[in-house]
Amino acid sequence: MKTIFEKDTNTDGITFIDEEISVDFINEKFLRDTSCNLPNVSELEVLRHYKELSDRNFCIEKGFYPLGSCTMKYNPKVNELLSSLDEFTNLHPGQADDDCQGALELMYKLQEALKKITGMDAITLQPAAGAHGELTGMMIIKKYFEVKGEHRKKVIVPDSAHGTNPASAALCGFEIVSVKSNDKGQVDVEDLKSIIDSDVAAIMMTNPNTLGIFEENVLEISKIMHENGSLLYYDGANFNAIMGYTNPKLMGFDVVHLNLHKTFATPHGGGGPGAGPVGVVDNLKDFLPVPVVDFDGRKYYRKYDLQHSIGNVRDFYGSFGVLIKAYAYILMMGENLKDASENAVLNANYLKEKLKKYYQLPYDLPCMHEFVLSGEDLKHKYGISTLNIAKALMDENTHPPTVYFPLIVHEAMMIEPTESETKARMDEFVDVMVKIYNEAVKNPENLISAPHNTPVKRVDETLAARHPDLSFNE
């Protein structure tokens, strides 16, 4: 018998029991035969080490985070408190419905709230994030046409779309057809008319789009698609701009996903996970993944008997902790969700007007919650790229905006301040951007070597992506 523990010591009244623990079930090649050589340090030193590491990370609580299309708004800490309540964290998703009525009630009421906010007739909370919501939506659209006996092969995607749109459609076997943008940065209706045919299943749109511009012809586009028997898919990444003012149903959309971790203030990425609920109009509700949460007037329950369901798209029932935080945010905001959108739009237009005096503004129109600048002039005149500007911002306690997207704008900088930021903070950002602009004109060499004050200095992005060094060195 192989053992990993044998000890019999008696020190100061503390007894360590002589015990042999069998590890016969572990392959011998995985067993250590030498000391672990762990550092002998105090708890205080361990805490200092990890605190120092955490200070190297950038987060919304540390500085301005204008990451366009990602909606990095402040996440209220009360949401974290509520999601960590024992009554939620000690639940297991395999428990019977009778044992988790509170959790099911929360999910049901979140579904109802999202139905009201989006105008949709039915909601699933299962998808894990935005792109997963897109995939779920496209699976619903594909099965809808299969049930109808129509084998439509194409999905139309604007040339300004998020990259996940064509990816999600392609994963479902659709052929991607690109529709051009017009001189206002919106879907070119005439180009759409020229490419639509009986093979088109749907169009995927973001409104406002990735340029931060509202698609003013959306009702005409909806009419064109529906007259062709096609559906409209709404990418909810930019939903933070329109809450309470309009909704996808009013625009004519049939399927929508929402990014709860963006619009409804739950953490992104490592602070996540995310959640990407999908809403559908009435004639698509039987295609939703199961289970959905329902209420019979007496109790809440998980419903599985949907006639054309695409099946389960996530283990159990999605990211429950994120659903708690989003529901808490919606309850806390109430009708003030409309004010959140209003302030997001106001902040973005304020920054746009301030910065267009220094950086190119390809589409000089009133924007929604975000806008896109271009550094193309600076690159041509002084050799300073958008990447150089992004790196310089890192020295100013500011996270860079999204860069080089959307692809239809050269040297793009997509800036989204969100409603969380004060005028004072935005004025600081303007000052920093003006400072960087002046340095690009007068001292471009200094920007080319930025950042200078971050824990990790300038790296070769191509080399780092293709040959990452994941080794640990003392």
Q: Each residue of 347-373: pLDDT tens digit?
A: 999 999 999 999 999 999 999 999 999
Q: What is the mean pLDDT of residues 207-228?
A: 98
Q: Does residue 17 register a pLDDT over 70?
A: no
Residue with tokens 């990993």: 4
Helix, strand, or coil (residue 294): strand
Q: Does residue 1 register a pLDDT over 80?
A: no
Q: Which of 155, 209, 202, 150 is nearest to 177 (CA)?
A: 155
Q: What pLDDT, on a 0 to 100 scale, did the predictor assign at position 9?
A: 47
Cα angle 173-179-184, degrees, rounded to a multiple of 5: 145
In degrees and rounded to multiples of 5, residue 393 shows phi and psi of -60, -30
Domain ranges (residues) in the chain: 9-55, 77-335, 338-466
Query: Which pair of tokens denotes residue 129?
Result: 């994030």
Element (H, E) at 155: strand 154-158
Task: Report CA-CA distances (Å) from 228 to 37, 145, 193, 224.
Answer: 69, 13, 10, 6
On whether the CB atoms of residues 413 and 388 are closer than 8 A, the answer is: no
Q: Which residues contact 393 (CB under 8 A, 6 or more apart)?
A: 399, 400, 401, 432, 433, 436
DSSP string of 368-429?
Answer: SS-EEEE-HHHHHHH---HHHHHHHHGGGTB---EES-STTSTTEEEE---TT--HHHHHHH
Task: Report CA-CA distances (Å) from 132 to 139, 148, 268, 269.
Answer: 10, 24, 15, 14
Query: Which pair of tokens denotes residue 58?
Result: 């950038």
Q: What pLDDT, on a 0 to 100 scale, did the predictor assign at position 7?
A: 44
The per-residue pLDDT for range 272-329, each reduced to its tens digit, is 688 999 999 999 999 999 999 999 999 999 999 999 999 999 988 889 999 999 999 9
The per-residue pLDDT for range 65-105, each reduced to its tens digit, is 999 999 999 999 999 999 999 999 999 989 999 999 999 99
Element (H, E) at 302: strand 300-303
Q: What is the mean pLDDT of residues 119-133?
A: 96
- CATH domain 77-335 topology: Aspartate Aminotransferase; domain 2 (3.40.640)
Q: What pLDDT, on a 0 to 100 scale, did the predictor assign at position 272?
A: 63
Q: Which of 38-42, 171-175, 226-230 has the lowest mean pLDDT?
A: 38-42
Percent of the chain topping pLDDT 70: 94
Q: Which of 372, 371, 405, 118 is nearest to 242 (CA)?
A: 118
Query: Which pair of tokens denotes residue 88?
Result: 């939620």
Which CATH code, of 3.90.1150.10, 3.40.30.10, 3.50.30.10, 3.40.50.1820, is assigned to 338-466?
A: 3.90.1150.10
